[in-house]
């Protein structure tokens, strides 16, 4: 159910983007109650000059490898879960593809189950509830 938009500078090799994608998804599965097959990500590679970010506000120093990960999720998660997720994500991205923890910024948004259609014109999360 979550959809993630990942924004970063242009110019990383494909292997870097693949590793970022995998580490993000693994962190979501391990700590954010996301099913293994529920993987939806959009990568926005932009010129560095299109990214305007303070190098030190609330964390830092940020480098040109700054990445912004914006996640929309359809059901509430506790503060405890979010804390675990941020920690886990920073660790995994440090490990692969090797992003400095200070360069990982995350913003979460929430909406409701009825706000998702995964396809075929269905109100997917409500149909699921009806099936159980």
Q: How far is the CB of 44 from its own copies (least distance, A)?
A: 7
**Residues between 4 and 23 that touch its own copies (CB under 8 A):** 7, 14, 17, 21
Q: How many residues does the chain have?
A: 132
Beta carbons within 10 angstroms of residue 87's beta carbon: 13
Query: Which residues does residue 67 pair with via DSSP β-bridges, in sequence order?
Result: 8, 104
| Residue 76 is a catalytic residue | no
Beta carbons within 10 angstroms of residue 78's beta carbon: 9
Binding site for its own copies (CB under 8 A): 3, 7, 14, 17, 21, 35, 37-46, 49-54, 56-60, 62, 68, 70, 72, 79, 82-83, 86-91, 101-111, 114-124, 126, 128
């Amino acid at each position: 159910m979550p959809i993630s938009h990942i924004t970063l500078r242009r110019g990383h090799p494909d292997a870097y983007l693949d590793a970022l994608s995998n580490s993000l998804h693994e962190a979501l599965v391990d700590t954010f109650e996301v099913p293994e097959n529920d993987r939806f990500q959009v990568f926005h590679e932009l010129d560095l000059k299109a990214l305007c970010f303070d190098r030190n506000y609330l964390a830092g120093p940020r480098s040109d490898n700054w990445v912004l990960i914006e996640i929309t999720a359809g059901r509430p998660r506790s503060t405890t879960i979010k804390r675990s997720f941020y920690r886990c994500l920073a660790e995994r991205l440090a490990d692969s593809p090797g992003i400095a923890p200070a360069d990982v910024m995350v913003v979460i948004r929430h909406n409701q189950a009825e706000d998702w259609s995964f396809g075929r014109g269905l109100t997917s999360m409500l149909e699921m509830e009806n099936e159980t």
